[in-house]
Amino acid sequence: MLLGDLYSSTACLTWEGTTFFGREAIANKLINLPFKNIKHIITGQDFQPTVDSCILIMVFGQLQIDDHPPMAFHQVFMLKNQNDNWACTNDVFRLGIHNIPV
């Protein structure tokens, strides 16, 4: 299975404020992220059923990219059952970076 196969053909990904539409655009974004290694630690997740028999999922935790210090992240995505296969229809990802003016 290729990375893009996890997404529906009409899926939408918002990555750090930039939106990508469709399986191919999403796969290209994720494949071309500018790092070599990444580690995830998931500290929590929440799930809710939706009216269209989808599942809304929120995941948060920390990730470490290459040799950089760990950073908080938040990700929300929706899964939909399509022909007895679950596919991601919506995905929103943000780093938990706070830029508080001093």
Mean predicted lDDT score pLDDT of the chain: 91
The percent of residues above 70 in pLDDT, for the chain, comes to: 95
Closest CA to 1 of 94, 88, 61, 65: 88
The verdict on residue 51 lying in a domain is yes
* Maximal C-alpha separation, the chain: 52
The verdict on residue 55 lying in a domain is yes
Q: Is the pTM of this model over 0.85?
A: yes
CATH code of the domain containing 78 = 3.10.450.50
The verdict on residue 48 lying in a domain is yes
The verdict on residue 53 lying in a domain is yes
The verdict on residue 102 lying in a domain is no
Q: Which residue range forms the structural domain that includes residue 40?
A: 3-95
The verdict on residue 100 lying in a domain is no
Q: What is the pLDDT of residues 6-51, one digit of tens each?
A: 999 999 999 999 999 999 999 999 999 888 899 999 999 999 999 8
Number of domains in the chain: 1
Higher pLDDT among residues 4 and 66, named by residue: 66
The verdict on residue 36 lying in a domain is yes
The verdict on residue 101 lying in a domain is no
Please list the helix, strand and coil fractions of the chain in percent, rounded to the nearest 5, in that order: 15, 60, 30
Q: What is the pLDDT of residues 43-91, one digit of tens each?
A: 999 999 998 889 999 999 999 999 989 999 999 999 999 888 899 999 9
